[in-house]
């Protein structure tokens, strides 16, 4: 201390508390900035994805099948073909996302599928519709796993579930909004020589193209590109991510063994089956609810409007369940409850013939199925590290979801209307399987966490990476240098004893 200068004030509990409060306020401010800048953009993108994917159901009610001279089988072939390139493009795109950059890849895909959606409004026969649906699936496929992987680079595992719910809410909002929009656009029937269903495709596709171009200027590729954050705020985000997932400190390049290791992870495979069973329910309801409601005896316009209710309810239920999931940092229990909710809806549908009770059961079925998606997606992202392992896990569950989409396109045949007994029993079985598999996965992850707490197991995992110098690891009994510690995180990833699986 310089002679004659005043001594610095001693540290007190009050100053420590002030420092903690300041840091907490800074973290909250950073999260608020991320939420306001990232979530509206990715939610809008996914909203358009779901809208352009599922508006074929609204177009069918508006007369597409009749005007193009399609049989029911041809219509379902057109719906099915969408999912083949969709699921085949998900894994490769997630593996190159880090290289190409989200700012380039995501807006480009959105603009391209918007253009293809517009072209759907110009087709005049089965083959034209089939071709446009193929390319629509090709360009839309990478979007969902890409957004999940992208957001995981900004939020901690505990925060991710609710943020995924915000953008997944676009699925239920699109279902609700498409009913209103289709009912309004259908009234343009005859304008410009186009039928109402054609205008549904053209106008919704143009919206996607416009938003796609805007996203080139709105999406930061990485945390370093997030210029809306100050240098201090970017440092705060990075520190929080490093504390939550130390494997993020490593920067290894792509290796096929990471892909293979993920495909052999039991908890990832169980999650993939959860996604498959829920996907069969989800896509069936998303595509066919207007047709289901119409089969209950309502007019085409009224069917479009009545389809709003179940999806709007699903939006609020999904947000609430994801909020609870994040608050208590738990995934399995909310998924099980949502599966029970969905199963209850299907049981009611099977047990009554009253029109409005049948319609009301759709609220439960949709709310349960749509609530599962954001929580299970967060679960897939939470428990796989490092980057390429996480990218593979997210893409794999998305592939299984859309594989189930192929199955769901052949559900709800016209000949089975309005009871659809076989399909409803299938959906009930799928909902039950989601609940059972979620319980199994939760128990498996709990067991893995317990094994990591065993000092003997910990030492066995860490010892190959320990060095003779560096900081002392009291639990393992080995001295591990900084480089050895990073190497351990890089190789072990989510198998590292300090990585705790989210249950």
| pLDDT for the residue 438 | 97
Indicate the SS3 state at residue 478: strand
For residues 113 and 261, membership in a common domain is answered with: yes
pTM of the model: 0.76
Contact 113, 139 (CB under 8 A): yes
Task: For residue 258, tell me if it sits in a domain.
Answer: yes
Integer angstrom CA distances of residue 256 from 95, 246, 392: 10, 22, 10
| pLDDT for the residue 253 | 62
Task: For residue 368, tell me if it sits in a domain.
Answer: yes
* pLDDT 10s digits, 289-337: 888 998 998 888 888 788 888 988 988 898 899 889 988 889 999 999 9
Task: For residue 501, tell me if it sits in a domain.
Answer: no
Question: What's the token pair of residue 177?
Answer: 């909004």
CATH code assigned at 50: 1.20.1250.20
| pLDDT for the residue 479 | 53
For residues 415 and 480, membership in a common domain is answered with: no
Task: For residue 22, tell me if it sits in a domain.
Answer: no
For residues 448 and 463, membership in a common domain is answered with: no
For residues 183 and 58, membership in a common domain is answered with: yes
Domain of residue 180: give its range. 34-225+241-453
* pLDDT 10s digits, 11-20: 333 434 344 4
Integer angstrom CA distances of residue 488 from 131, 481, 493, 495: 48, 10, 8, 10
For residues 181 and 326, membership in a common domain is answered with: yes
The proportion of the chain whose per-residue pLDDT surpasses 90, expressed as a percent, equals 32
**For residue 386, is the peptide bond before it cis, meaning its omega torsion is within 30 degrees of 0?**
yes
Q: Roughly what angle, to the nearest 10 degrees, separates helices 126-140 and 72-100?
A: 30
Task: For residue 6, tell me if it sits in a domain.
Answer: no
For the cut 80, the answer to whether the pLDDT of residue 439 exceeds it is: yes
For residues 481 and 434, membership in a common domain is answered with: no
For residues 400 and 464, membership in a common domain is answered with: no
Q: Higher confidence at residue 412 or residue 208?
A: 208
Best CA proximity match to 49, nearest among 121, 129, 120, 107:
107
For residues 445 and 459, membership in a common domain is answered with: no
For residues 410 and 313, membership in a common domain is answered with: yes
Domain count, the chain: 2
Contact 352, 59 (CB under 8 A): no
Which of 4-8, 52-56, 248-252, 450-454 bottoms out in mean pLDDT, i.e. has the lowest? 4-8
Average pLDDT over residues 128-145: 92
Task: For residue 83, tell me if it sits in a domain.
Answer: yes
For residues 105 and 142, membership in a common domain is answered with: yes
| pLDDT for the residue 469 | 44
Q: Higher confidence at residue 117 or residue 484?
A: 117
For residues 385 and 460, membership in a common domain is answered with: no
| pLDDT for the residue 246 | 63
For the cut 90, the answer to whether the pLDDT of residue 404 exceeds it is: no
Of the residues 453, 471, 486, the one at which a domain ends = 453
| pLDDT for the residue 14 | 42
Q: Higher confidence at residue 21 or residue 368?
A: 368
Task: For residue 7, tell me if it sits in a domain.
Answer: no
For residues 400 and 485, membership in a common domain is answered with: no
């Amino acid at each position: 201390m310089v002679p004659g200068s005043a001594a610095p004030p001693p540290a007190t509990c009050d100053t420590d508390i002030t420092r903690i409060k300041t840091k907490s306020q800074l973290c909250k401010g950073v999260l608020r900035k991320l939420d306001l800048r990232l979530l509206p953009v990715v939610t809008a993108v996914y909203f358009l994805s779901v809208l352009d994917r599922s508006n074929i159901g609204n177009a069918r009610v508006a007369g597409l099948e009749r005007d193009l001279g399609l049989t029911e089988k041809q219509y379902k072939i057109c719906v099915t073909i969408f999912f083949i390139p969709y699921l085949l493009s998900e894994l490769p795109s997630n593996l190159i996302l880090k290289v190409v950059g989200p700012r380039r890849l995501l807006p480009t895909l959105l603009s391209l599928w918007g253009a293809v959606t517009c072209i759907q409004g110009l087709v005049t026969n089965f083959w034209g519709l089939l071709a446009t649906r193929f390319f629509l699936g090709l360009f839309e496929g990478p979007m969902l796993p890409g957004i999940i992987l992208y957001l995981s680079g900004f939020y901690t595992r505990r925060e991710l579930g609710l943020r995924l719910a915000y953008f997944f809410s676009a699925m239920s909002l699109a279902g609700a909004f498409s009913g209103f929009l289709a009912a309004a656009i259908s009234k343009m029937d005859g304008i410009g020589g186009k039928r109402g269903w054609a205008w549904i495709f053209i106008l919704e596709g143009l919206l996607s193209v416009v938003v796609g171009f805007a996203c080139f200027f709105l999406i930061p590729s990485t945390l370093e590109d997030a210029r809306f954050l100050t240098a201090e705020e970017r440092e705060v985000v990075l520190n929080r991510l490093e504390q939550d997932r130390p494997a993020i400190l490593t920067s290894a390049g792509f290796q096929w063994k990471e892909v293979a290791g993920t495909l052999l992870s039991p908890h990832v495979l169980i999650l993939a089956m959860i996604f498959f069973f829920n996907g069969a329910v989800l896509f069936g309801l998303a595509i066919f609810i207007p047709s289901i409601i119409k089969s209950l005896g309502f007019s085409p316009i009224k069917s479009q409007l009545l389809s709003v209710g179940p999806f709007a309810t699903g939006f609020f239920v999904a947000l609430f369940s994801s909020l609870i999931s994040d608050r208590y940092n738990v995934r399995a229990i909310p998924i099980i409850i949502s599966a029970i909710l969905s199963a209850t809806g299907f049981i009611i549908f099977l047990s009554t013939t009253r029109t409005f009770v049948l319609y009301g059961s759709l609220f439960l079925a949709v709310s349960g199925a749509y609530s599962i998606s954001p929580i299970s997606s967060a679960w897939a992202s939470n428990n796989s590290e490092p980057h390429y392992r996480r990218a593979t896990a997210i893409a794999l569950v998305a592939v299984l979801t859309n594989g189930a989409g192929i199955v769901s396109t052949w559900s709800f045949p016209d000949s089975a209307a309005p009871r659809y007994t076989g399909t409803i029993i299938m959906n009930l079985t799928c909902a039950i399987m989601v609940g059972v598999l979620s319980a199994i996965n939760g128990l498996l992850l709990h067991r893995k966490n317990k094994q990591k707490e065993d000092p003997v197991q910990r030492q066995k995992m860490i010892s190959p990476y320990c060095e003779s110098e560096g900081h002392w690891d009291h639990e393992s009994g080995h001295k591990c240098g900084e480089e050895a510690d990073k190497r351990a995180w890089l190789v072990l990833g989510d198998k590292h004893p300090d990585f705790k699986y989210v249950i």
